[in-house]
C-alpha cells in the first residue's frame, strides 16, 4: 500500500464515520458541521458520494405458502396481485396456469425462478 492510497483510505473512513454520525445525530448538515468544525460543502460532497455507491439488493424470491382447503379460491374469484421490484404490479386471474406463471416470472425477474 502506498502512502497516497493509505491517505485516501484514511480520508474515506474519516468521512464515512462523519456521514454515519450525521445520520444518527438528528442534526441538519449545517448544524453538524458547526458542531464538528467541518466544511459544509465537503460533508455534502461525501454524503452524495456515499449515496451513489450501489447497494446489492437481495434477489427476489418466491416462497411457497401452504393454504388450508377452506381458503382456496374459486375459479371466478378476484385476481391475485403480485408486487414485483421497481414498482411493477402483476395481476393474475384466479384460474392461472402455474407453469405459465413460472415462465413469466422467470422473464420478468431473472434468477428468481428455478
Residue 83 sits at φ, ψ, to 5 deg, of -85, 115
pLDDT tens, position by position, for the chain (114 residues)? 565 677 788 899 999 999 999 999 999 999 999 999 999 999 999 999 888 766 566 677 788 877 766 555 555 566 778 777 777 777 888 777 788 778 877 777 776 665
Distance CA 83, CA 69 (A): 25
Residue 54 sits at φ, ψ, to 5 deg, of -65, 140
Task: Give the C-alpha separation, 22 to 16, whole Å.
Answer: 10
Q: 101: which 3 cell numbers?
A: 406463471
Nearest CA among 60, 76, 63 for reference residue 109: 60
Identify the pLDDT of residue 27.
92
Q: Distance of CA 97 to CAs 75, 92, 102, Å? A: 12, 10, 9
C-alpha cell belonging to residue 37: 468544525
Lookup: cell for 65: 405458502
So what's the pLDDT on residue 112? 66
Q: Burial, 52: exposed, middle or buried (Cβ in 10 Å; 0-12, 13-18, 19+)?
A: exposed
Amino acid at each position: 500500500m502506498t502512502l497516497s492510497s493509505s491517505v485516501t483510505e484514511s480520508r474515506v473512513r474519516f468521512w464515512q464515520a462523519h456521514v454515519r454520525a450525521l445520520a444518527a445525530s438528528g442534526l441538519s448538515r449545517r448544524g453538524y458541521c458547526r458542531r464538528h468544525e467541518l466544511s459544509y460543502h465537503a460533508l455534502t460532497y461525501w454524503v452524495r458520494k456515499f449515496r451513489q455507491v450501489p447497494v446489492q439488493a437481495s434477489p427476489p424470491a418466491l416462497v411457497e405458502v401452504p393454504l388450508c382447503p377452506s381458503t382456496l379460491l374459486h375459479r371466478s374469484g378476484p385476481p391475485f396481485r403480485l408486487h414485483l421490484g421497481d414498482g411493477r404490479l402483476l395481476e393474475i386471474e384466479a384460474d392461472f396456469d402455474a407453469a405459465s406463471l413460472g415462465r413469466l416470472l422467470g422473464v420478468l425477474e431473472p434468477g428468481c425462478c428455478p
